[in-house]
Homo-oligomer: A and B are copies of this chain.
Amino acid sequence: MEYTVKKLALISGVSGRTLRYYDQIGLLKPARINSSGYRIYGQKEVDLLQQILFYRELEVNLEDIKKIISDPTFDQTEALKSHYQLLAQKRARLDKLMATVKGTIASIEGGIPMQDKEKFAAFKDKLIEENEKKYGEEIRSKYGDETVDASNAKLRGISEGDFKAMNDLGEEIMVLLKKAYEKGDPASVSAQEIAAKHKQWLMYSWGSYSKEAHAGLAEMYVADERFTAFYDKVADGATEFLRDAILIYLGMEK
């Protein structure tokens, strides 16, 4: 059986445009072109298309599908496994999104307008959740459960005004850090101001404060690439600069 574009489209369920596109990008070439320039597909192409659609269903992008079906030495298992990981991540993310949406709906239906308490609470939950997700495990193992739980508990109990103030302070620190970093001296007045503000900022979420803990956190900032990535958004090396400023501020320079 031979198929023109329309016929193949009919039995496969994809559009004619899709078939021409797949031809164009070299994903599925017709068996031959007839004298009038028509694309003619054979049984082999029908089978190939089925394979392609199988992977497409799995949300593999066309470029990868091309590799998978064209290169038989390509490690399909590995590709599928990493693809599975991707799907799992997507699902985990969806789960969280759904929870947040549900919470938001509930808060609205509770008669409390977005803007206010519940939205704020949703944000807090999200914040805690993200903190927990990003840093929880490692911090727990390195610094003990109490620290983390205490931080979360404090965060949960925080007032809306404080929350906003804390956020603003966090923003301010980022901006100031940029300016101070450009001067290059962690002992400078501006850098020491940042360290002070950073302590203030920490106080919002920390149950108890100690110089040692502050210094330890500063060291962790540098050691943990996720913190580094965050503060280095300001500039490369800003994380180390912040650590140095804090250590000097605490009188704990090495």
Q: Which of A75-83, A132-140, A152-160, A188-196 contacts B (4 or more CB under 8 A)?
A: A75-83
Q: Are the CB atoms of A90 and B100 closer together than 8 Å? A: no
Nearest residue (CB) in B for A91 is: B94
CB–CB B108/A84 < 8 A: no
A–B complex contacts, Cβ < 8 Å, 7 sampled: A11-B175, A54-B119, A58-B101, A80-B105, A84-B101, A87-B94, A87-B97
Shortest C-beta distance, A49 to chain B (Å), equals: 11
How many angstroms between the C-alpha atoms of A198 and B95 in the bound complex? 43
Interface membership of A17, Cβ < 8 A: no
Q: How far is the CB of A155 from chain B (nearest CB, A)?
A: 17
Contact present for A90 and B94 (CB under 8 Å): yes
CA distance A13 to B10 in the complex (A): 47
Query: Is B58 touching A84 in the complex (CB atoms < 8 A)?
Result: no
Distance in Å: Cβ of A15 to nearest Cβ of chain B: 11
Complex contacts, A91 vs chain B, CB 8 Å = 91, 94-95, 98
Q: Which of B59, B76, B104, B171 contacts A80 (CB 8 A)?
A: B104
A-B interface, 10 closest residue pairs, ranked by CB to CB distance from nearest: A11-B171, A91-B94, A84-B101, A80-B105, A87-B98, A77-B108, A11-B174, A58-B97, A80-B101, A10-B174
